Amino acid sequence: MYRAITFLTTCALLLLYASLTGCREASVVQWPALKQLDDLAEQCEALCDAKDVAALRQIAGTVKTAAITVARDPLPAGARQPAEVTALQGDLNSLAAAIHDPARQDGAELTAILAGVHPIVEKLMEAAGMPHVHETEKAATSPAKDGKS
């Protein structure tokens, strides 16, 4: 009898642990279009820092399309702050609408618009409940491969 109770208690604890750790993993919001836009926005940020207007003109159309996609996406399941996500989607849509003709648009204006994408995307990811880590940040925070830190 004691063994049966111990066994059942152990099973119950294991199921509880599994369900709790599974819920933690499941609570991360999945939004592939936003992740793609985040990668593009990181590229824009680097190009803005380098003042590479020619490259910004080339990427602007892709960024606009990706931003409009995210702005029009339905609210992702499990979003932490739905009202904030919706407001930020509106901001993103307004920013995308400001990109009208990258080839002829004033370089300083285009740079300012594209520099504004990444901050909105970061806030959007946070409001949605998504982690915001870039490959360059992962590499900078991971230990050296030779074992030296």
Angle between helix axes 82-97 and 53-72 (nearest 10 degrees) is 140
Q: Would you give the end-to-end CA distance of the chain in angstroms? A: 54
Please state, in angstroms and rounded to a whole number, the distance separating the CA atoms of residues 115 and 47: 9
Span 62-108, pLDDT tens digits: 999 999 999 999 999 999 999 999 999 999 999 999 999 999 999 99
Please state, in angstroms and rounded to a whole number, the distance separating the CA atoms of residues 36 and 60: 14
Task: Give the pLDDT confidence score for residue 132 in this predicted structure.
Answer: 81
Residue spans per domain, the chain: 32-132
**Mean pLDDT, rounded, of the chain:** 83
Range in 2-6, 33-37, 138-142 with the lowest mean pLDDT: 138-142
Please state, in angstroms and rounded to a whole number, the distance separating the CA atoms of residues 86 and 71: 8
Task: Give the pLDDT confidence score for residue 4 in this predicted structure.
Answer: 55
Cβ 71 vs Cβ 92: under 8 Å: yes
